[in-house]
Amino acid sequence: MTNGQQLATSEKIKQGIVFAVAKLIQILPLIGLTMIHSGQSVASYMPYILFYTALKTGLLFVNSLGHVQNSFKITSISMLLAAGALLLLAISPWLYLTDMAAFILGASASVIMPTYEGVYYHERVVWKWHLMGTEIKTLLAFSLITVGLLTTASHFSYRLVFIVIMLFVLIGFIGMQRFEPFVKQLDESVFVEQTKSLNNLELFVWATAMAFALRYLRLFEAKFVWLLITVAVIGLVALILRVIITRGTKTKMPGWLLVAALINGAFETFLMLYIFVAIQNQSLMIGAYVTYGAGMILAQVIRKSVQGRFSKLSDWQIL
């Protein structure tokens, strides 16, 4: 094959299906997890809380295992883990297994989309892939069918919803296994050797504690949550200071990227704390989420122009 060869229609359909799974696996489980709630107790909401927690931090755990070298394998593994977790959610009568499955599902879902983008990038070396008629029709049709099945299943039980989502994930997994051999990077291991990072693993621990506490705080007021937030903040700060002091890290990170990250982090932190803590009125809550979503969409529109203003900054260095 030569570089830039047009992608065949059959491959477009496979790509569209897998892309739909990678995109919606972070959203669809919320339907079933919401249905699990049998009351206002903490136990009934725990799968929901743990799913959201892992959704924010699962990728950090993968980073602690090393630099991903074979994005196809790690995406496949994540899809299988997600399917297994969904099956467990569908059949488990024990809450502690349900909690564990929800956390594994969230962690897998957080990994699937970014690693699948690596598969797509690897494939682009040979094929041109543009979002055109076939791709849009495939994504729309597959998504509508799935939503229709979920709507039907929701009239029966949350267990059936998880079965439908599991089949949705497995269809994506099977479709991805039918990609061309060169996409699968058959001769490459999942991670680059000797790139495991205990610092990233520690970051995963503190970030998970913080994400869990904030999501728990959103639903239930408890003193231990504020204590957990305090411990997580101290742990994160201590980790950063230790890395700076002991390693004297130098990085080629562009200065404008650091500034953009700080601005974005401060903005999101303020909004999340406001939504979690300050707002009690339901209509105000909805308005806050709509504003937050609109801000994220607007950010994608103005991102390039903002980046351009900071592009003259030198690379960031910690001496």
Buried b (16+ CB within 10 A) or exposed e, 271-310: beeebeeeeeeeeeeeebeeebeeeeeeeeeeeeeeeeee
Does the global pTM surpass 0.95? no
Please tell me the distance from the alpha carbon of residue 57 to that of residue 191, in angstroms, as a whole number.
Answer: 19
Nearest Cα residue to 93 out of 150, 161, 167, 158: 158
Q: Provide CB contacts within 8 A for 40, sequence distance 6+.
A: none
> Given this model, what pLDDT does residue 88 score?
92
Distance of CA 264 to the CA centre of its chain: 17
> Given this model, what pLDDT does residue 84 score?
94
> Given this model, what pLDDT does residue 16 score?
77
Residue 220 has which token pair? 């239930």
- How many Cα atoms sit within 13 Å of 217 on the Cβ side? 21
Please tell me the distance from the alpha carbon of residue 184 to that of residue 196, in angstroms, as a whole number.
Answer: 23
**Which run of H or E residues covers position 32?**
helix 29-36
Asked whether the beta carbons of 107 and 61 are under 8 A apart, the reply is yes
Backbone angles phi, psi at 251, to 5 degrees: -140, 155
Report helix, strand or coil for 40: coil
> Given this model, what pLDDT does residue 51 score?
92
> Given this model, what pLDDT does residue 103 score?
94
> Given this model, what pLDDT does residue 272 score?
64
> Given this model, what pLDDT does residue 237 score?
85
> Given this model, what pLDDT does residue 213 score?
87
- How many Cα atoms sit within 13 Å of 294 on the Cβ side? 6
Terminus-to-terminus CA distance in the chain, angstroms?
47
> Given this model, what pLDDT does residue 114 score?
83
Q: Which amino acid is at 158?
A: Y
> Given this model, what pLDDT does residue 48 score?
87
> Given this model, what pLDDT does residue 199 score?
83
Residue 276 has which token pair? 């979690």
Asked whether the beta carbons of 190 and 68 are under 8 A apart, the reply is yes
**Digitized pLDDT (tens) for each residue of the chain, 319 residues in all:** 345 556 667 777 777 788 888 888 888 888 888 877 666 677 778 888 899 899 888 888 888 888 888 888 899 999 999 999 999 999 987 777 889 999 999 999 999 988 887 777 666 655 555 555 666 677 777 778 877 877 787 777 888 889 989 998 999 899 888 887 777 777 788 788 888 888 888 888 998 998 888 888 777 767 788 888 889 889 888 888 887 777 655 555 555 555 666 666 666 666 666 666 655 666 666 676 677 667 666 665 665 666 566 555 554 444 3
Backbone angles phi, psi at 201, to 5 degrees: -65, -40
